[in-house]
Amino acid sequence: MSVGDEQISMVSAGTSDGTPPAFQSAHKQPFKIDDDLSTRNSSLESSDTDGDSSTKPFLRRGWFGGGAGSPLDAWLTTSAAQIGQVMLAMPHAVSLCGMRVAIPLMVLYSLGSIWTIHLLTTLYLELKQRKVAAGTWAGGHEKRATQYFNVVGELTGSRVVKAFVTVITIISLLCTGIAQIVAISTGSYYLNTSIDKRTWTLIWGAILSVTMSLVPNFRHFRLLNIISLVGTAYTAVYLIATAASTGLPRARYALTAGPVKAQNVFLGANVFMSGFGGHSMSFEVIDALFNPGCYDTVYPYSYLFTWFVTIPHSLLNQLAFPVDNAKYSNIYGAVPNNAARNASIVLMIIHQAVAYALYVTPVFFMWEKLVGTHDKPLWIRLPSRLPVALLVWFFALIFPFFDTINAVQGAVGYSFTAFVFPTAAYLWVYKSAKARNNAPKVPRFIGGWTAAMLLNTVMVVYFAIFGVGFGTWAAIKNLVDQVNTLGLFASCYQCSSIVATNVIKG
């Protein structure tokens, strides 16, 4: 039995008067939570491990066997999941907004994302602390996955809130999974235009449904994450070098060009939210850690990689190809067709396959809990996921619109899960002085509780209005326009322009 198991057993056992031994003095003084997140979690971290898994050497643990729960594993998973197909859409998003609007939005959204991850980590540990104290904690990937709707729903104490959070989280995750299939099909069409994109979607949907449904949980992704990060790193370097090699002849025009219409600003902002707001699967990553409290530190470090693979190439390619960026929703349409581009496409296809698994796996968990297979052996549990995979595949066939899917997932999904829910839940949970006394200290750079609560309030209002409100309006309007023009199950969205682009050799 692990230290954590002993701890939970002590809490559950109690004494003759029914009071848990560890909390017999609770009536004399309130249960005090440590000020520092990592310290606060130190007494709980082993409750998620399976015996000696946390003592195994790093290099012998987790490549395929499910023991990957270190801070480095969290960094790898976060870096791989944070940026995928959306890095190919970001130059177009910069073009939609204009550089003078795009740069502040990218900076503000990324910093806001780091802040809200701190809030989510705090909320996770708050729920875990309460459940361990009550003897009801059954989290951890070796036991029962703790998910977004569990944390936000249970801490707010409202079934309506929990149901709403669940629906939005599912939409966010499914849209991201759909976007990966659409992006893979688009990339495959750039490589081989003899097969239309709908056929590529059929092929890749089948492959991903069968293979990626077999990855049990987030402790099995280490090797896949490393491989996928090679793809985004190479692509970022390739796109930076390609843009720089042009000499940026149209830089002056690109710097002064603004959005054509207001809708474009919100469409571009939605893409930025997709790029900097992948929080819908964060609790599964936190839950997979041997020490969940360290995620508060790990996530900001992942942004060193996120910024590298998003901002430089997006801005440089806008300076180099402002006209083509406005035309093509995928950056591969703006760059020359050569071997370097094709290598990037292949590596990004691999990355997008991994990202598909990272974002659809939380929905697999929800489905397993619904149908009663989450606690069953893997030979029962993994095949039960197939209906979810088929649903994602089906919607990828219905809406094969690369740019539109990115905008929808940003507005409907990520504006809620990355910004509105974390800030609103934090305001609710720590609204009283008593709750704040038992909470971790607010980071010093924020300036205390008053500043933190004011910041959260501003973020709730801003993202509710501009992200959820105007962002959803712009995204849905664009989706309706696409469907009215091309219909559902479009066979080859933007194929003629891709064929024309492939003629341009680099």
Q: How far is CA 146 from CA 142, 151, 152, 359, 373, in A?
A: 11, 7, 11, 15, 16
> How would you class 172 by CB atoms within 10 Å of its CB: exposed for 0-12, middle for 13-18, buried for 19 or more?
buried
291 backbone dihedrals φ, ψ, rounded to 5°? -125, 85
70-502 CATH pick, 1.10.1740.10, 1.10.3720.10, 1.20.1740.10, 3.90.79.10: 1.20.1740.10
- Do 125 and 293 meet the contact criterion of CB atoms below 8 Å apart? yes
Measured between alpha carbons, how far is 211 from 7 in angstroms, rounded to an integer? 38
Closest alpha carbon to 83 in 287, 416, 392, 348: 348
User: Residue 457: its pLDDT value, please?
Assistant: 96
* Cα dihedral 183/185/188/193 (nearest 10): -120
Measured between alpha carbons, how far is 489 from 401 in angstroms, rounded to an integer? 10
Amino acid at position 6, single letter: E
pLDDT in tens, 448-457: 888 999 999 9
- Three-state DSSP class for residue 106: helix
Measured between alpha carbons, how far is 267 from 419 in angstroms, rounded to an integer? 17
Q: Which residue ranges make up each domain of the chain? A: 70-502
User: Residue 42: its pLDDT value, please?
Assistant: 45
User: Residue 49: its pLDDT value, please?
Assistant: 43
**Please, how many CA atoms are within 13 Å of residue 504, restricted to the half-sphere of its CB?**
12
Amino acid at position 125, single letter: L
- Do 241 and 387 meet the contact criterion of CB atoms below 8 Å apart? no
Closest alpha carbon to 411 in 479, 331, 353, 483: 479
User: Residue 374: its pLDDT value, please?
Assistant: 80
Per-residue pLDDT of the chain (506 residues; tens, 9 = 90+): 433 343 333 333 444 333 333 333 333 333 333 344 444 444 444 444 443 344 444 444 444 444 456 788 888 888 887 777 788 889 999 999 999 999 999 999 999 999 998 898 889 888 888 888 777 776 554 456 678 888 888 888 888 988 998 888 888 888 888 888 988 998 898 898 888 888 999 999 999 988 887 777 666 677 778 888 999 999 999 999 999 998 888 888 888 887 888 888 998 898 898 888 778 777 777 777 777 777 878 888 888 898 999 999 999 999 999 988 888 888 888 888 899 999 999 999 999 998 888 888 888 888 888 888 888 888 888 889 999 999 999 988 887 776 677 777 778 788 888 899 999 999 999 998 888 888 766 766 788 888 999 999 999 999 999 988 898 898 888 888 877 777 676 776 666 666 556 555 44
User: Residue 502: its pLDDT value, please?
Assistant: 57
- Do 211 and 203 meet the contact criterion of CB atoms below 8 Å apart? no
Measured between alpha carbons, how far is 348 from 136 in angstroms, rounded to an integer? 42
- Do 185 and 353 meet the contact criterion of CB atoms below 8 Å apart? no
